[in-house]
Amino acid sequence: MGEKRLYDRDGHKFVLLEGFGGGEMVPTNQVLIHDGDEAILLDPGGHKVHYELINAISSLIPINQLKYLFYSHQDPDIVAAVNAWLMLTDADAYISKLWLRFVPHFGVDELMINRLKGIPDEGQRFKLGHSELIFVPAHFLHSSGNFQVYDPKSKILFSGDLGASIGPDYVEVADFDAHIPYMEGFHRRYMPSGHANRQWAEMVSSLDIEMIVPQHGAIFPNAEMSRRFIQWVAELPGAAESMKATYAIPA
Ligand code: FE
């Protein structure tokens, strides 16, 4: 586990908290963005991660400045500890409106249910301290209600499951071609739609991106690696289209 300040200038911080989880749990990255006296935590993680993370965050900021939680989608490695986070902080939690009535199955106390906020399909601009973030639509990458976060100050895109790599022993991608095998199996199975892949690549090409940080594995630490990754996604076939042969009743 480690903490990496990917950006820290003029009262604006983008901090990567990496390598949480482990054992049978797929390791996860968490991100804390802090501006002025407000912070948002991206993809807070499951129960075990919660305990380790709360300590790590408390050493960075007064915990009462954690005003927002962001959930890229509804998977357990992201949402499972939502009730604990809501109990422990005063933060509001943002997730695609598609999942608002599903997340409470993780057990959200009735008193806190109105702090779960739905993000509309088209995404939104989001005020944090003196800065503004963008909740970028990334539906079907891989969840049907799915968002990423772009931070215009640091020019970093948090990409959720898109860009995930399983197993590399480095934190920053230095050789894109050598990195592909760590991403390929996951993306070819979890990203359903080649059409969505291409549309996403086209959309984010209009953003000025210095870095891409996924929820699992190594980050793309500069503009060139980010560009290579976006290009790779543009050509990535969708799982639903490539798996036609598996739609057969098992013998
Ligand atoms: Fe997921």
CA of 96 to the centre of ligand 1 (A): 13
CA of 27 to the centre of ligand 1 (A): 12
CA of 133 to the centre of ligand 1 (A): 22
Span 67-94, mean pLDDT?
Answer: 95
Q: How confident is the model at residue 129 (pLDDT cuts 50, 70, 90)?
A: very high
CA of 9 to the centre of ligand 1 (A): 31
CA of 5 to the centre of ligand 1 (A): 25
Q: Is 52 exposed, middle or buried (0-12, 13-18, 19+ CB in 10 A)?
A: middle
The pLDDT of residue 22 is above 80? no
d(CA 246, CA 101): 31
CA of 11 to the centre of ligand 1 (A): 31
**HSE on the CB side for 31, CA within 13 Å?**
27
Span 44-59, mean pLDDT?
Answer: 87
Q: How many helices (H) does the chain have, and how many strands (E)?
A: 7, 12
CB 173 within 8 A of CB 221: yes
Single pTM value for the model: 0.96
Give the tens place of pLDDT for each residue, 133-152: 999 999 999 999 999 999 99
CA of 130 to the centre of ligand 1 (A): 31
d(CA 123, CA 137): 5
CA of 61 to the centre of ligand 1 (A): 28
The pLDDT of residue 175 is above 90? yes
In which element (H, E) is residue 58 found? helix 47-58
Determine which of 19-23, 52-56, 138-142, 223-227 has the lowest per-residue pLDDT on average.
19-23
Q: Please, what is the average pLDDT of the chain?
A: 95
Higher pLDDT, 108 or 31: 31
Q: Please give all residues whose CB falls under 5 A of ion ligand 1, grouped by chain where several chains appear.
A: 75, 161
Q: How confident is the model at residue 24 (pLDDT cuts 50, 70, 90)?
A: confident
Structure tokens at 76: 């357990």
Determine which of 39-53, 64-78, 161-175, 178-192 has the lowest per-residue pLDDT on average.
39-53
The pLDDT of residue 110 is above 90? no
CA of 76 to the centre of ligand 1 (A): 8
Contacts 24+ apart (CB under 8 A), 47-50: 47/80, 47/81, 47/84, 48/21, 49/20, 49/21, 49/25, 49/81, 50/81, 50/84, 50/85
Q: What is the pLDDT of residue 117?
A: 97
d(CA 45, CA 220): 21
* CATH number of 2-114+133-242, picked from 3.60.15.10, 3.40.50.2300, 1.20.1090.10, 3.30.428.10: 3.60.15.10
Q: What is the pLDDT of residue 109?
A: 86
d(CA 27, CA 151): 23
Span 26-39, mean pLDDT?
Answer: 94
Q: How confident is the model at residue 48 (pLDDT cuts 50, 70, 90)?
A: confident
CA of 147 to the centre of ligand 1 (A): 11
Q: Where do the structural domains in the chain lie, given as residue ranges? A: 2-114+133-242
Residue 184: count other Cβ atoms within 10 Å of its Cβ.
Answer: 14
Q: What is the pLDDT of residue 2?
A: 80
Give the tens place of pLDDT for each residue, 200-232: 999 999 999 999 999 999 999 999 999 999 999
d(CA 51, CA 143): 26
In which element (H, E) is residue 12 found? strand 12-22
Q: What is the pLDDT of residue 147?
A: 98
d(CA 216, CA 229): 15
The pLDDT of residue 46 is above 90? no
